[in-house]
Amino acid sequence: MKWNRISYLNRLLLCALACGIAHAHVVSISNGELRVTGQTATFELRIPIYEIEQIADPETALLNEVRFGDATRTSSDCKTDAEWLTCKANYAFAQPVPDKVEVECTLYRATVPNHIHMLYAVQGENSDQRVFDQNTPIIEIRFHPPSIGESITRDGSAGALRLLKSTAGLLFLGVLMLAARNRREALVLAAAFLLAEWAVRPLSPFIPLSMSPEFLEAVMALTVAYLAGELLLLPEGSARWVIVPLLGLVHGLPYIAFPPLYLVGASILQVVLLGAISFAIFRMPASWRRPAAGFLLIAAGAWFARLVFA
């Protein structure tokens, strides 16, 4: 009877995770290309039709949310096909652009709060590519090839910062190491989790859904609650290496719309944090493990409730 109750709880929690993913969108995204020549520039914006169905005048509403320094838009034209809206606009600057331009992109105002815009900018032989979202609406585009070090520092730091802003992501690192019964199992679970985060990237084109950052954070909180609940009900469970990769897929979703270096930065920080957490856990009394799991279950439940009902 006890095993049946545990199995039922497992199925219920997994069903909640699956239903959450099935009823939300993973990412809202558009892309653009800016070409600067002297005092003039052309900008092409491409966005899926389904992203703008609620916008009455997309040509005006969308282009008004993208600004390039002191440039003035001189003309624009938008066309649609079966799946995409493509807008082309011409701009004039007050003076020739040297080697950088400040770009402000607030497309999330016209679309949805979790919208991401990837901009590729070109001036002569030099180019730059940046990602805009609600957290980083203003970025300076620099027209010189970034070095490997600059790219790693810039994008890697941005990815690490996204991890630090995720309460559910940080809580999961704690419950993941708490689930390991020894150091060998800690390495196996950590590796399975990190690999699953990367495995979801090639799968993302086949996921025709998206979700807001708040909803995704709530689903991630459920993964913490699930694993913490299993630690309370099955403290000696030996098959966690099976479920951890599935939960890791969920935690990889926040990074699929960003360049790979974002996830590199997040992964490096995760390795550091996992090492520090495991160091602490394997030195605390064994009797503390169940209370710690209970605390994480309560914390994850409270965080989920705040996200859903606030």
Chain centroid to Cα 184, Å, comes to 29
- Assess if residue 61 is contained within a domain: yes
Burial of 296 (0-12, 13-18, 19+ CB in 10 A): buried
What is the per-residue burial (b if ≥16 Cβ within 10 Å, else e) of 60-92? eebbebbbbbebebeebebeeeeeebebbbebe
C-alpha to C-alpha distance for 178 and 186, rounded to whole angstroms: 9
Q: Are residues 109 and 246 in the same domain?
A: no
pLDDT tens profile 3-16 = 333 343 444 444 44
Q: Are residues 122 and 193 in the same domain?
A: no
DSSP SS3 for 207: coil
Q: What is the pLDDT of residue 202?
A: 86
Q: What is the pLDDT of residue 21?
A: 39
User: What domain range is 294 assigned to?
Assistant: 163-309
Q: Are residues 167 and 305 in the same domain?
A: yes
C-alpha to C-alpha distance for 27 and 221, rounded to whole angstroms: 18
Give the CATH number of the domain where residue 82 resides: 2.60.40
Q: Based on the structure, what is the number of domains in the chain?
A: 2
- Assess if residue 13 is contained within a domain: no
Percent of the chain's residues with pLDDT above 70: 88
For the question of whether the overall pTM of this predicted structure is more than 0.75, the answer is no
Q: Are residues 106 and 169 in the same domain?
A: no
Q: Are residues 37 and 119 in the same domain?
A: yes
pLDDT under 50: residue ranges of the chain:
1-25
- Assess if residue 7 is contained within a domain: no
Q: What is the pLDDT of residue 149?
A: 78
Q: Are residues 274 and 167 in the same domain?
A: yes
Q: What is the pLDDT of residue 4?
A: 39
Q: Are residues 209 and 139 in the same domain?
A: no
Burial of 172 (0-12, 13-18, 19+ CB in 10 A): buried
Q: What is the pLDDT of residue 16?
A: 43
- Assess if residue 248 is contained within a domain: yes
* Sign of the Cα pseudo-torsion (115, 119, 204, 56, in order): positive
Q: Are residues 65 and 198 in the same domain?
A: no
Q: What is the pLDDT of residue 12?
A: 41
